Amino acid sequence: MNFRKLSFTDAPLIKVTPPGPKSKEFLEYQFSHEGSAVSYPKGMPMAVRYASGATVEDVDGNKYIDFFGGAGVMNVGHSNPEVIEAASSQIVNLTHSLDFPNPARRSMVGILHSLLPAELNKVFFGGPTGSDAVEAAMKLAKYNTGRYPMIAFEGSYHGMSAGALSLSSGLGFKEDFLPMLPEVHFIPYAYCYRCPFGKEPETCNLDCAQYLEHILEDPHSGVGKPAAVIIEAIQGEGGSIVPPEKFIPKIREICNKHEILMIIDEIQAGLCRTGKMFAFEHSKVLPDIITLSKGLGGVGFPISCIAYKEGLDTWPAGKHIGTFRGNVVAYAAGSAALNFMVENNLAEHALNLGGLMLSWLKEIEKDSKIIGEARGKGLMLGVELVRDKETKEPAPELASMVRSYCHRNGLLIEIGGHYFNVARFLPPLVITEELAMKGVEIFRDAVIEAEKLL
């Protein structure tokens, strides 16, 4: 398919500096009638009306290039016609089925089985969000091992429900709601730009992964034998962190040696985003359990699932339930989206275009005083902003300035990272080279503007 026709051809187009008058009216209504935890419209003030492919239109008629992608949901593009067609045909027939079999569900399960490694031959649909999948994965691990402790990683994000939040590293999200689940232990991820061991990736001995081995073997580490390690193969909210090639295999090896289950959270990095259907495929390991959500519902229909090895399928009927166990419209939309991904080689497109975008960002990095590191894989990219390239002092205020500049000039981006200083790009994977280039140019100008404020 020619991806060009999926997006608005005249984006970026700023008719009135956002937020325009209509957006302002929506925002005022929202802020006076909705809870104060609403967040994205505070960073990118606008109300949205239409979205197509890798572009979004606000209520004032401004059109944006979308490097935000609904926080990594829109892999096949906003309003993807094949997905909309499938969802529309489904919606008039059946929309809710708990866990009764139905044709749409069967089709989704069949496609997932054809894409997953043969060993992950059980799929299970719980609640609709990524957090729900994380809860289910953790419960399955605990049920099978009879153990309680969990190992998670610094920089991780796994969701907002109690268990998923306990596995997430951001203190800002949880310190006011303590206590979290007990016996969750955080260990360093391979965040080489800020290696806690002061090593360089070329010469280190994967000290971060070795640290897991150390805490498992030292009877005074204070860490009981865990049920599972939960890890993102490429960290998303942590700042688009791609670990060295041997990191994930080393964690797998340690899990095998100590008979600990390995859960790979594919909610953000999965479904073609990083250049493979599943991000764990880059490291050629086989997880015991994976979690999927975000792009799984095609164009934002909420659904999540876990996939796991048959040997773990020990829990009895009803051990893990919920009113929304899967979503029939999302099965239809998701099946169409998965087919679209395969038929259009979306993984390859993401890998190639992402590689090109990274090379442009690396060029910008060379001339910039505030870009500490541009990194990523496929179309999961991040640019870490610092006040000083030597000291690496994080610059969250510059990151929000960059985001505002981008928004005012027709580009939507996300901010994340340990210090909220990483500009993150998660565009719909159907983005064209032309739009990607225009977006990177706006970003470059934003960085130049932000630099003036140093």
Ligand X SMILES: Cc1ncc(COP(=O)(O)O)c(C=O)c1O
Contact residues toward ligand X (CB under 6 A) are 71, 129-131, 134, 157-159, 232, 236-237, 265, 267-268, 293
Nearer to ligand X, 19 or 239 (CB): 239
Residue nearest to ligand X (CB): 130
The distance of closest approach from Cβ of residue 410 to ligand X in the complex, given in angstroms and rounded to an integer, is 25
The distance of closest approach from Cβ of residue 396 to ligand X in the complex, given in angstroms and rounded to an integer, is 19
Nearer to ligand X, 255 or 290 (CB): 290
Nearest one of 336, 421, 409 to 67, comparing CA atoms: 409
Nearer to ligand X, 60 or 237 (CB): 237
Cβ-contact 428, 76 below 8 angstroms: yes
The secondary structure of 127-185 as a DSSP string is: SSSHHHHHHHHHHHHHHHH----EEEETT----SSHHHHHT---HHHHGGG----SSEE
Cα separation of 442 and 426, whole Å?
Answer: 16
Alpha carbon 97 to its chain centroid, in Å, reads 28
The distance of closest approach from Cβ of residue 308 to ligand X in the complex, given in angstroms and rounded to an integer, is 16
Cα separation of 205 and 217, whole Å?
Answer: 18
Query: Quick count: other Cβ atoms within 10 Å of Cβ 327?
Result: 25
Nearer to ligand X, 19 or 130 (CB): 130
Cβ-contact 296, 266 below 8 angstroms: no
Cα separation of 294 and 158, whole Å?
Answer: 12
Cβ-contact 448, 441 below 8 angstroms: no
Burial of 447 (0-12, 13-18, 19+ CB in 10 A): buried
Cβ-contact 307, 289 below 8 angstroms: yes
The distance of closest approach from Cβ of residue 428 to ligand X in the complex, given in angstroms and rounded to an integer, is 16
The distance of closest approach from Cβ of residue 163 to ligand X in the complex, given in angstroms and rounded to an integer, is 11
Nearer to ligand X, 158 or 407 (CB): 158
Nearer to ligand X, 239 or 354 (CB): 239
The distance of closest approach from Cβ of residue 236 to ligand X in the complex, given in angstroms and rounded to an integer, is 4
The distance of closest approach from Cβ of residue 132 to ligand X in the complex, given in angstroms and rounded to an integer, is 7
The secondary structure of 273-300 as a DSSP string is: TTSSSSGGGGGT---SEEEE-GGGGTTT
Nearer to ligand X, 131 or 166 (CB): 131
Nearer to ligand X, 63 or 158 (CB): 158
Cα separation of 432 and 116, whole Å?
Answer: 28
The distance of closest approach from Cβ of residue 330 to ligand X in the complex, given in angstroms and rounded to an integer, is 13
